[in-house]
Amino acid sequence: MTSAYELADVRHCYGDRCVVDIPTLEVLQGEILGLVGPSGAGKSTLLRLLDFLETPTDGHLTYGGTRIDGDVSLADRRDVTTVFQRPMLLKRSVAANVRIGRRLRGLDTKDRGTEMWLDRLGLTDLADAPARTLSAGEAQRVALARALVVEPSVLLLDEPTGNLDPYNVGLLEEIVRTENAERGTTIVIVTHDVFQARRLADRTGLMVSGRVIELAETKGFFSTPQQPQTAAFLRGDLLI
Amino acid sequence: MGTLARAFADALGLLWNMEPALVEAVVLTLQVTLIALVIALVIGVPIGAAIGLTRHLPGRWLIVPLIYTGMGLPPVTVGLFTYLVLSNQGPLGGLGWLFTPAGMIVAQTIIAFPLVVGLTMAAVQGVDPNLPVQMLSLGATRRQVATVTLLEARVGVTAAVVAAYGAIISEVGAVMLVGGNIEGETRVLTTAIVLETRKGNFALAMALGIILLTLAFVTNFAFHRLQVHQGVR
């Protein structure tokens, strides 16, 4: 398998405090990588680095075989997108929100993709509704549709179902799984719900204090953790 | 009360007859106001958006209070300043803009500009700071992020337009000084009201006042409809 990302000695620090400190990490093309860990472990910052929203203070990042130094090309930036925990919708209609990625790319917005994604996420009846009137679950479905309509190569998910009900969690997970299987989209999902990682991820990693403590095939990660901290985290012990 | 009622009745008569003096003042008022407003918006909205969007702006500690001060500039001081700049001995005396509509537009633009910048800045700062991040993540360029954020702040930006429009259409001091209130040339509604009141032509002054209020109301009504419409979509 080729890699989507390779990280070498990547550190991201604010002054003396390094929130991400990763000697080496590979994200494989077409995999679903789950990252779990306590809050403040640097998971979200890692995702921001992968989305080119931040530049590492030290070390370097390779994306699709190209080493990223300083400015990232617009094409690479448009290849990757994130669904955050809070959907951050525009004060426009649901359909306008779903179309925004295509609009930013100067693509036709009357395409079938928009309609298809509205339909797949059960939003067709809400297409003309103002986004601000949506429930949390509906809004997060809009955010996922908005991300997928631009057909990204990499989809980053930052606690995407953090405050959703089981129905919406199930729907979003199903879409993510299908997108990965059908289009081979590389997916990195950050979650503090270990069960979500177990349901979705091919490989799962534990992050604590900016470091990846353990990264393994999901099955082995949960059944036979190699690191005491992983075992403790999976038992539900508090990690600091 | 008798004077007021009579003046009001006579004013309606004058309006009905479309007195040429009235029409001239209305046309010039709208010209000066709208041109000044457009110039202030074209320059002020991008500057306000840039200040609002730049988190680590050097000199913000000084720039922002200066803008806020500008929002409360006494128009008559702006008039005096513009007068001196445009007068024969002034640095821009060569333009020959003193006592012309062009000079009045300059003064009105100076009055409207800080209002537009300050309120646009505030509107943009009111947008959730995570929105620009989300737009970048969706593949927006820096310029597109600014445009989307500005559109997201559209209700506040419309308020900036309303405030600037209201400030300059109702302004007397600056246009009086710079324009000179010359009949048929630089006489606008507000300066005409001052003059006619002093001459004791209360009916005409009243008619002018009614027109001024109507213009302000009609325009603000339109702006409000725009805001309501924007709020939904």
In a domain, B8, yes or no: no
Radius of gyration of chain A (CA): 18
Separation of alpha carbons A188 and B42, rounded Å: 43
In a domain, B210, yes or no: no
How far is C-alpha A7 from the chain's CA centre?
17
In chain B, residues with a C-beta closer than 8 Å to the C-beta of A188 are: none
The distance of A168 to chain B (nearest Cα, Å) reads 21
Q: Domain range holding B157?
A: 27-190
B138–A91 C-beta distance less than 8 A = no
pLDDT at B1: 57
Q: Is the ipTM of this complex over 0.95?
A: no
Band (pLDDT 50/70/90 cuts) for residue B7 is confident
In a domain, B198, yes or no: no
User: Considering its fold, how many domains does chain B have in total?
Assistant: 1
Is the pLDDT score of B107 beyond 70? yes
Distance linking the first and last C-alpha atoms of chain B: 49
For chain A positions 129-158, those within 8 Å of chain B (CB to CB) are 130, 146-147, 150
A53–B141 C-beta distance less than 8 A = no
In a domain, B22, yes or no: no
Compute the 3-state secondary structure of chain B and give helix, strand, coil in percent, each to the nearest 5.
Answer: 80, 0, 20
In tens, the pLDDT along B40-50 reads 999 999 999 99
The per-residue pLDDT of chain B, averaged, comes to 91
In chain B, residues with a C-beta closer than 8 Å to the C-beta of A149 are: none
In a domain, B49, yes or no: yes
Q: DSSP letter at A135?
A: -
User: pTM to 2 decimals?
Assistant: 0.85
Asked whether the beta carbons of A111 and A102 are under 8 A apart, the reply is yes
> Could you tell me which residues come within 8 angstroms of residue B90 by beta carbon, excluding any fewer than 6 positions away?
B83, B84
In tens, the pLDDT along B121-172 reads 999 999 999 999 999 999 999 999 999 999 999 999 999 999 999 999 999 9
In a domain, B212, yes or no: no
Name the residue with tokens 């004058």.
B14
List the single residue in A77, A88, A146 with the smallest CB-CB distance to B130: A88
Q: Please classify residue B115 by burial: count the beta carbons closer than 10 Å to its beta carbon, then call 0-12 exposed, 13-18 middle and 19+ buried.
A: buried
Is the pLDDT score of B233 beyond 50? no
Q: Count interface pairs A-B at CB distance under 8 A.
A: 53
What's the CATH number where B38 sits? 1.10.3720.10
For residue A48, give the H/E element and its range. helix A43-50
In a domain, B14, yes or no: no
